[in-house]
Structure formats: structure tokens, C-alpha cells
């Protein structure tokens, strides 16, 4: 069995030293990752944000009209043409009636 010890690595982006902990090494080994990390946590976060569009995950909020009661509502997705969209109350009501049937 391999015994892991904390190691000091150098970030390829900012040049700062960071610790590759024994726990992280064990995690990498369990996942069969072949390469050790190249970036410190701060640079990794910046890189991930840049790759995902700058601000990380963006939640979509769309204003629409409920197909059941006609009330204006917001939904956490972009509605698809031809598919019904329900306000929270109508959605919960439909969900509870379909669960009892």
C-alpha cells in the first residue's frame, strides 16, 4: 500500500506554490487520474469560470403565462414551443393528483 505525504507543487499560471495533500493524492489515485494538479485553487477557479462563460453557472429565469390558469409566472428554464408550462401552484396540484391516481 502506498503511503501518501503532502507535496508542494508550483502553479503553472501564477507560479505560486500550493500543497497537494495526501488526501487529494489518495482521491486522484482512487479515480485513476494520471496527472497531478497544475494549478492552485485560485487559478483553477478563474480558469473554470472563464471556460464556462465567465460567471459560472447561470440560472435561466423566464417569464411566461401558465397553461392552466393563465397567470403570469417565472420558470427556471426556457419553455419549449408546443409544451405546456405551469405556475408553481398548478404544477404542484397536477403533481399531487397524478401521484394519487
**First-last CA distance in the chain:** 56
Q: What is the per-residue pLDDT across 31-51, written as a single tens digit (0 to 9) for each?
A: 999 999 999 999 998 888 887
Full residue range of the structural domain in which residue 88 is found: 62-100
What pLDDT, on the 0 to 100 scale, is given for residue 53?
A: 65
Q: Alpha helices of the chain — where are they, by DSSP H? A: 22-30, 41-51, 88-100
Cell of 26: 489518495
Residues 45 and 23 in one domain: yes
2 in a structural domain: no
Q: Are 73 and 65 in contact (CB under 8 A)?
A: yes
Q: Are 77 and 60 in contact (CB under 8 A)?
A: yes
36 in a structural domain: yes
Q: How far lies 3's CA from each of 6, 23, 33, 36, in Å?
A: 10, 10, 17, 16
Q: What is the per-residue pLDDT across 50-98, written as a single tens digit (0 to 9) for each?
A: 877 655 456 678 899 999 999 999 888 888 888 999 998 999 998 888 7
1 in a structural domain: no
- Domain tally for the chain? 2
88 in a structural domain: yes
Lowest mean pLDDT among 3-7, 25-29, 52-56, 58-62: 52-56
Residue that finishes a domain, picked among 15, 30, 51: 51
What pLDDT, on the 0 to 100 scale, is given for residue 66?
A: 92
| Residue 72: DSSP 8-state | E
| Residue 77: DSSP 8-state | S
72 in a structural domain: yes
Residues 47 and 66 in one domain: no
Amino acid at each position: 500500500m502506498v503511503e501518501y505525504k503532502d507535496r508542494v507543487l508550483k502553479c503553472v499560471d501564477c507560479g505560486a506554490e500550493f500543497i497537494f495533500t495526501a488526501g487529494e493524492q489518495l482521491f486522484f489515485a482512487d479515480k485513476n487520474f494520471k496527472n497531478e494538479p497544475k494549478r492552485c485553487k485560485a487559478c483553477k477557479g478563474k480558469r473554470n469560470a472563464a471556460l464556462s462563460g465567465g460567471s459560472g453557472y447561470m440560472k435561466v429565469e423566464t417569464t411566461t403565462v401558465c397553461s392552466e390558469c393563465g397567470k403570469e409566472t417565472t420558470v427556471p428554464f426556457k419553455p419549449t414551443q408546443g409544451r405546456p408550462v405551469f405556475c408553481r401552484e398548478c404544477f404542484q396540484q397536477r403533481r399531487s393528483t397524478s401521484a394519487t391516481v
